[in-house]
Amino acid sequence: MLRSVLIGTGSALPRRAVPNAELAEKVDTNDEWIAERTGIRNRYIADDDETTSSLATAAALKAIEAAGIEAATIDLIVLATATPDQTFPASATIVQNALGCNGCIAFDISAVCSGFLYGIGVADSMLRSGAAKRALVIGAETFSRILDWEDRATCVLFGDGAGAVVLDARDESGDAPRGILATRLHADGAHNQLLYVDGGPSTTGTVGHLRMKGREVFRHAVVNLATVLNEVMAETGLEISDIDWLVPHQANARILDATAKKLGMPAEKVIVTVDQHANTSAASVPLALDAAITDGRIKPGDLVMLEAMGGGFAWGASLLRI
Ligand code: UT7
């Protein structure tokens, strides 16, 4: 059976680390509030010369190196971002040109914090249908450019970065096939005013700033994530106890704890990077995945669940064997 097998991961962060204390010099906040309410201690903020596409390219190059492949063998690039370099062309084409795999399919996906999961779902469908053979799926963001730096309720929560994976279409059968086993995606536009950007080409003509009703988003996130994770488990016939690692979207340590608790999953199985990266939207899942693969926690054969929820609302989960 044809499956999308993960053969390499990579990530990239801006040069500049910004700890909570530095933000407390600019807005009315403090390290204690941020750390206690969110688990965040640090984030990375892009300088002017660091863009979504430059971070995405750096992450992609590392994933390609880890996979031990030539960039020219990639025939599909899916870049999930809510902060593209320009309104158009797709930032995926800028990455494509930098990598030198011109001519292949390349496009962006807009599903905000769930963008990487949407990217995985779309790439997996295309690989299994034969539309492509080797995919680069990237989540990359420069949310610092759309933050209202006078709004303490949001500006302390986000950071910039990129993560990438290479997926290869391979024939995998047997009892424990490698690759993506199931993906479930959802969206509900009834809630799009709880987390949005107040600008855009077709409305204000400006880029706008992020606005969020955090408490409401939090409430929906825990419920939606637990539901979609159970849907994926039902589709695969596996049990929550079979999962070796949960790699969640890194929005808030309290959401990670609450979701794990709701599923009856021990906290030691949850990969946490929100303390160092803050919320990097579409980049957060591949950044966390790469961190745990690079440091040796996630090993070949492990069963890994990815999940995310954010603006739209859009949410999803994907189960894969490494
Ligand atoms: O990635 C997309 C998905 N996004 C999320 O999942 C975010 C989900 N939401 C959250 O993570 C949390 O709701 C937040 C971290 C955003 C906020 O935590 P909270 O416990 O829900 O706090 P709150 O918004 O209810 O605010 C509590 C208090 C308020 O003061 P009063 O009204 O109680 O006097 C805020 O003004 O905390 C105040 N506050 C702050 N204080 C110091 C808000 N932001 C700050 C701040 N520093 N940065």
Q: Which atom of ligand 1 has the smallest separation from the CA of 311?
A: 2
> Domain check: are 159 and 288 in the same one?
no
Positions marked active-site = 113, 249, 279
Q: Which helix (H) or strand (E) holds 34?
A: helix 31-38
Q: Which residues have C-beta within 8 Å of that of residue 258, sequence separation ≥ 6?
A: 222
Say if residue 158 is in the same domain as residue 11: yes
* pLDDT attached to residue 29: 98
pLDDT tens for 234-266 read: 999 999 999 999 999 999 999 999 999 988 999
Same domain, 86 and 28: yes
Domain that holds residue 253: 179-321
Classify residue 37 by its DSSP letter.
Answer: H
- The span from the CA of 260 to the CA of 77, in Å, is 32
Which CA distances in Å does 298 have to 98, 146, 262? 30, 33, 23
Q: Give, as one character, the DSSP assignment of residue 201.
A: T
In CATH, what number is assigned to the domain containing residue 232? 3.40.47.10
At residue 5, the pLDDT reads: 98
The domain boundary, picked from 148, 171, 194, lies at 171
> Residue 144 burial (CB < 10 Å; 0-12/13-18/19+)?
buried
pLDDT score at 302: 98
Query: Are 37 and 150 part of one and the same domain?
Result: yes
Instruction: Give the Cβ contact number of residue 88 at 10 Å.
Output: 10
On whether both 232 and 298 belong to a single domain, the answer is yes
In a shared domain, residues 161 and 183: no
* 185 shares a domain with 155: no
Looking from the CA of residue 284, the nearest atom of ligand 1 is 1
Between CA 231 and CA 39 the distance in angstroms is 28
Q: How many domains does the chain have?
A: 2
- Between CA 21 and CA 273 the distance in angstroms is 18
> For ligand 1, what atom is nearest to the CA of residue 155?
48
Where is the domain boundary, 171, 203, 229? Answer: 171
pLDDT of residue 21: 98
User: DSSP string of 143-160?
Assistant: GGGG--TT-HHHHTTB-E
End-to-end CA distance of the chain: 16
pLDDT reported for residue 132: 98
Q: Please tell me what DSSP assigns to residue 313.
A: T
C-alpha pair distances (Å), 220 with each of 134, 211, 217, 315: 35, 16, 5, 10
Residues 155 and 59 in one domain: yes
Residues 107 and 84 in one domain: yes
**Could you say which of 123, 154, 171 is where a domain stops?**
171
Q: Is 38 in the pocket of ligand 1 (CB under 6 A)?
A: yes
Residue 310, ligand 1, Cβ within 6 A: yes
Give me the numbers of helices (H) and strands (E) for the chain, helices first please. Answer: 10, 13
0.85 exceeded by pTM: yes
User: Nearest to residue 248, comparing CAs of 294, 304, 295, 314?
Assistant: 304
| Ligand 1 binding pocket includes 152 (Cβ within 6 Å) | yes
Asked whether 113 lines ligand 1 (CB < 6 A), one says yes
Do residues 99 and 162 both lie within one domain?
A: yes
The residue count for the chain: 322
Residue closest via CA to ligand 1's atom 39 equals 153
Q: Are 132 and 119 in contact (CB under 8 A)?
A: no
* Low-confidence residues in the chain, pLDDT < 70: none
Residues 249, 147 within the same domain: no
Check whether residue 165 and residue 200 sit in a common domain: no
Integer Cα distance of 305 and 180 in angstroms: 10
Answer whether 251 contacts ligand 1 (Cβ < 6 A). yes
Q: What does the pLDDT look like over 265-275, one tens digit per residue?
A: 999 999 999 99
Name the residue of 218, 220, 273 to mutate for ligand 1: max ligand atoms within 8 A of Cβ: 218
* pLDDT tens digits, one per residue of 19-70: 999 999 999 999 999 999 999 999 999 999 999 999 999 999 999 999 999 9
Query: Could you tell me the two tokens for 29?
Result: 């906040």
Beta-strand relationship, 42-45 and 76-80: unpaired
3-state secondary structure of 80: strand
